[in-house]
């Protein structure tokens, strides 16, 4: 059984304590994650701090070239990373699973490497010249979740180092192994100390986020944990990018074609077994086509192969951990107790693995946990509405505001509805289709700041205004 190590200052650092990482499909041990101490954390931050001046002092083109080489290195090791990811996270190799995630990590890394933040001239005349210079911030703490551990690690690390910062990343204790391997590969390309990885058992987060030598935190996870991160950063006024929970609403207008939209609705809701912040989590359907949409979704869901992700024919895997399995189970049970009608799924078979069946629950409404809270799993509530004003009001009646979608045969009309949704991203006739050149972030309690593209790159810089 492989014992993984920390990576600090470009070197493998062994630990005296380890934690078993188990396959959520079978319960088998995948590998042993190192458990860092406070001393290890301090050493990692010190290594990143020491590496910062030289890395920040490199030209933009030099950093771009090295980030592009990181993309090549990830791509060259894609199958190894995908298989390790499936073993510890549970998602299938195929479909929108591990190979898809590693491919996304390569695409985001490559695109971010190509971006630049040149000097902006805001004035140049008789009164003088004013320039805006973008400068790196310092050491960035990156804290990543267990649902898309490799892709989100690249979302955090690559824009940080592209702009001249250095990084200490702490992956989720549920899925640390692929991130450790990713950082090992990065260190084959990058100077020592530019990217460091520590792993814990959820006991070092506060020490990292409050560390006086951490200048910025980028965090992806729940809103509740995001609040704690923000509070921890307050004493030193650290910069923050927080991508937090979502309870995304989709609205199906009466002119939509139920059979034509069924596939898009399904994958909008059930990609990664619903374990995605910007999944479709509440579906509002007009009364006139409600039954037809329910039937079309149930028919599509019946053909989906769920199972161990290493099987090539599988397209959906288990939930990643027992806590999430229990949440989804409880939310579905609550919905049924409040009058919900299970169209498909809703009855786990038991046995090894955290397998929860694809579940569609009709005839539910606000007041059920499955509607009001983020389920983060393969269970979708379908809510009937009669008037579009009612649907918009209900879609916005939530503290989250990450994404939303409108489904209609009339794109212009759909865009008018979309403009009234309180969310950071909105899609027409699809859901959750993010891309590396378009900013992504939430409003309300779904986060602070944005990721991706030039706007995401700017999050890792400060502005220095030069007057001459």
Active site residues: 243, 277
Both tokens of 70, joined, read 């990181």
- At 233 the three-state DSSP class reads helix
| Number of neighbours of residue 320 by Cβ within 10 angstroms | 26
Both tokens of 429, joined, read 């006739």
In whole angstroms, how far apart are CA 252 and each of 14, 280, 282, 362, 414?
A: 53, 12, 11, 14, 9
Residue of 134, 201, 234 lying closest to 448 (CA atoms): 234
In whole angstroms, how far apart are CA 369 and each of 147, 266, 319, 337?
A: 21, 20, 19, 11
Residue pair 45/110 in contact (Cβ under 8 Å)? The answer is no
Both tokens of 466, joined, read 């030069």
Residue pair 33/61 in contact (Cβ under 8 Å)? The answer is no
- At 5 the three-state DSSP class reads coil
φ, ψ (nearest 5 deg) of residue 32 = -110, 120
Q: 113-123 burial, b for 16+ CB within 10 Å, e for fewer?
A: bebebeeeeee
In whole angstroms, how far apart are CA 27 and each of 317, 322, 352?
A: 13, 11, 7
Beta-sheet strand order (sheet of 379-385): 341-344, 359-362, 379-385, 280-286, 248-252, 403-407, 425-428
Side-chain half-sphere exposure of 465, counting CA atoms within 13 A: 6
């Amino acid at each position: 059984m492989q014992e993984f190590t920390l990576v600090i200052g470009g070197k493998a650092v062994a630990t005296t304590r380890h934690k078993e990482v188990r396959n959520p499909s079978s319960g088998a041990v995948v590998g042993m994650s190192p458990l860092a101490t406070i001393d290890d954390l301090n050493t990692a931050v010190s290594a990143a701090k020491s590496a910062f001046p030289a890395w920040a002092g490199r030209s933009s083109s030099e950093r771009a070239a090295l980030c592009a080489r990181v993309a090549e290195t990830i791509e060259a090791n894609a199958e190894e990373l995908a298989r390790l990811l499936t073993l510890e996270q549970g998602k299938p190799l195929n479909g929108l699973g591990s190979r898809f995630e590693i491919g996304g990590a390569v695409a985001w890394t490559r695109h971010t490497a190509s971006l630049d933040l040149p000097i902006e001239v805001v004035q140049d005349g008789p009164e003088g010249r004013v320039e805006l210079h973008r400068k790196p911030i310092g050491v960035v703490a990156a804290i990543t979740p267990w649902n898309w551990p490799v892709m989100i690690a690249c979302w955090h690390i690559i824009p940080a180092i592209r702009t001249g910062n250095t990084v200490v990343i702490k992956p989720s204790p549920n899925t640390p192994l692929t991130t450790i391997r990713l950082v090992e590969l990065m260190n084959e390309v990058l100077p020592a100390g530019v990217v460091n990885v520590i792993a814990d058992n959820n006991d070092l987060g506060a020490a990292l986020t409050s560390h006086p030598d951490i200048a910025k935190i980028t965090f992806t996870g729940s809103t509740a944990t995001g609040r704690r991160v923000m509070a921890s950063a307050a004493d030193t006024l650290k910069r923050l990018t927080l991508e937090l929970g979502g309870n995304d609403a989709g609205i199906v207008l009466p002119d939509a074609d139920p059979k034509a939209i069924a596939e898009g609705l399904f994958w909008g809701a059930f990609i990664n077994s619903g374990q995605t912040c910007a999944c479709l989590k509440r579906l509002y359907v007009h009364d006139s086509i409600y039954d037809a949409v329910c039937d079309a979704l149930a028919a599509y869901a019946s053909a989906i192969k769920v199972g161990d992700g290493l099987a090539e024919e599988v397209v959906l895997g288990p939930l990643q951990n027992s806590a999430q399995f229990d949440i989804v189970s409880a939310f579905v049970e609550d919905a049924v107790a409040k009058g919900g009608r299970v169209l498909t799924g809703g009855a786990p078979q038991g046995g090894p693995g955290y397998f929860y069946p694809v579940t569609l629950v009709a005839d539910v409404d606000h007041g059920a946990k499955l509607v009001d809270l983020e389920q983060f799993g393969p269970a979708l509530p379908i809510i009937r509405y009669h008037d579009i004003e009612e649907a918009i009001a209900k879609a916005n009646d939530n503290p989250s505001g990450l994404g939303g979608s409108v489904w209609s045969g009339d794109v212009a009309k759909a865009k008018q509805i979309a403009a009234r949704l309180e969310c950071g991203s909105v899609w027409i006739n699809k859901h959750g289709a993010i891309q590396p050149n378009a900013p992504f972030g939430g409003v309300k309690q779904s986060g602070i700041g944005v990721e991706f593209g030039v706007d995401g790159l700017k999050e890792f810089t400060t502005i220095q205004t030069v007057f001459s």
